[in-house]
Amino acid sequence: MEVVKFGDLFKYQKKSKIKAGDGLELGKGKYPFFTSSNILSKSIDEFNFSSPSLIFGTGGKPSVHFCNQKFSVSTDCLVAQPIDEERVCPKYIYYFFSQNNLRLLEDGFKGAGLKHISRNYIDKIKIPLIPIETQKEIVSILDNATALRDKTKKVLDEYNTLAESIFLDMFGDPTKGNLEPIGNSITLSSGYAFKSTDFVEDGVPLIKIGTVNKGFFDLRNVSFLPINYIKKYKSWIVNPYDLLMSLTGTVGKNDYGNIEIASNDYDKYLLNQRVVKFNIIKNYNKAFFYHMFLHKAVKRKVTKLGRGVRQANISTIDIMKLKLIIPPIELQNEFAEKIALIEKQKDWAKQELKESEDLFNCLLQKAFKGELVS
């Protein structure tokens, strides 16, 4: 196996002048539009590139994408294409970085405030290079595993779309009609400013902004506090299935104001600052309340409550003043029964997704240990 520097395999294309804010919602433009994010969430009506490429985000956190169709990028991205396509397959290198090697990029982010990575740093990253035919064989195997995983994800998305459709059929737009401040029916529990110096290897998991700001309940980088903190900080306990929301994020990004459900991975959690827990006192069924906050019109209302130039902050007072519908509880309960049936099917799909992700990760590890193909 040959070890080669990235800069000896790839050349960078002309830097884009398009700003990240110029992109449209994904699907509304003709072409994918990549920004300095690990998630493709935008599109655009013009393209700058059409050859198979790697796209690196240069600001904030490490990200790398592969694209083999017409696409554009924002000014905070680097686009790299092979110097010799007979020597290196760009998607093989994409999978190389996906194999826990984003840490190689993460180490290159420097600076105060918003960190950035340089082209020079990426050029020096060492790549384990194998024959091109073997690269393509590995890519084919990993592509098949990815397709299986994506198919299961699509099933989950379809269940979510079905739940959204049922909500719309039964209740319409929750921001229109007879509205009341939700503060008449709920209370909010704010998080506590726990200190990172108190973190331990195992104990009570702490729900932080990063746990609830991605559109799912994320325990991948969970921090723990001493087990005796459960008694010491009773007011900040979170139980499985409690409803949560991050009140702080980045202006222009979808990383705040998202409602989440605490998972049942642990019996108890503790709540960190700038995350709130919804306590329903009356008038609302929990399942209805959760799906109401998933509605795009409600999300827009919540996002507009954010104050700040770069960092958006929502106050609990503004959340309590938010005016939304309160349908008859019998109708809410009927909705909840329908959702419960969908959730059962989603549980099966989630298990299948976990199995397909485990398979993909296993193949990925073997690929770069030389164990996947002979």
Q: Is the pLDDT confidence value at 366 over 80? A: yes
Name the nearest CA neighbour of 203 among 227, 219, 220, 221.
Answer: 227
136-184 pLDDT per residue, tens: 999 999 999 999 999 999 999 999 999 999 999 999 999 999 999 999 9
For residue 67, count other CB atoms closer than 10 A to its CB: 23
pLDDT at position 168, please? 97
pLDDT at 252: 83
Q: For residue 158, give every residue at least 6 positions away whose Cβ sits within 8 Å of its Cβ, in sequence order, or none.
A: none
Q: State residue 253's pLDDT score.
A: 84
pLDDT of residue 100: 65
**Three-state secondary structure string covering the chain:** CEEEEHHHCEEECCCCCCCHHHCEECCCCCEEEECCCCCCCEEECCCCECCCEEEEECECCCEEEEECCCEEECCCEEEEEECCCCCCCHHHHHHHHHCCCHHHHHCCCECCCCCECCHHHHHCCEEEECCHHHHHHHHHHHHHHHHHHHHHHHHHHHHHHHHHHHHHHHHCCCCCCCEEEHHHCEEEEECECCCHHHCECCCEEEECHHHHCCCCCCCCCCEEECCCHHHHCHHHEECCCCEEEECEEECCCCCCCCEEECCCCCCCEEEECCEEEEEECCCCCHHHHHHHHHCHHHHHHHHHCCECCCEEECCHHHHHHCEEECCCHHHHHHHHHHHHHHHHHHHHHHHHHHHHHHHHHHHHHHHCCCCCCC
Task: Give me the residue spans of the domains in the chain.
Answer: 2-129, 171-330
For residue range 98-118, list pLDDT tens digits in order.
866 688 898 999 987 789 999
Q: Answer yes or no: is pLDDT of 87 > 70.
A: yes
Q: Average pLDDT of the chain?
A: 95
Q: Is the dihedral of CA 198, 200, 205, 209 positive or negative?
A: positive
CB atoms within 10 A of CB 256: 24
Q: Mean pLDDT throughout 289-307?
A: 96
Q: How far is CA 340 from the centre of its chain?
A: 24
Is pLDDT of 310 > 90? no
CATH class of the 2-129 domain in this structure = alpha beta
**Cα–Cα distance for residue pair 140/29, rounded to 1 Å:** 29
For the segment 193-210, the average pLDDT, to the nearest whole number, is 97
pTM of the model: 0.75
- Please say if the pLDDT value at position 339 is more than 90: yes
Closest by Cα among 40, 3, 1 to 20? 40
Residue whose pair of structure tokens reads 């000014």 in the numeric block:
75
Q: Which two three-digit tokens encode residue 200? A: 């331990």
User: Helices 296-304 and 286-294 sit at what angle, rounded to 10 degrees?
Assistant: 70
Confidence check: pLDDT of 374 > 90: no
The pLDDT of residue 101? 65
* Percentage above 70 pLDDT, the chain: 99
Domain spanning 171-330, CATH class: alpha beta
What's the pLDDT score for residue 308? Answer: 92
pLDDT, position 99 = 67
CATH topology agreement for domains 2-129 and 171-330: yes
Instruction: Average the pLDDT over each of 14-28, 97-111, 201-215 and give the range with the smallest value.
Output: 97-111
Residues whose CB falls within 8 Å of the CB of residue 83, separated by 6 or more in sequence, listed in order: 8, 9, 10, 11
**For 249-291, how does the pLDDT look when each residue is reduced to its tens digit (9 = 90+)?**
988 888 999 999 999 999 999 999 999 999 999 999 999 999 9
Q: What is the C-alpha to C-alpha distance for residues 211 and 176, in angstroms, rounded to an integer?
A: 31
pLDDT (average), residues 67-93: 97
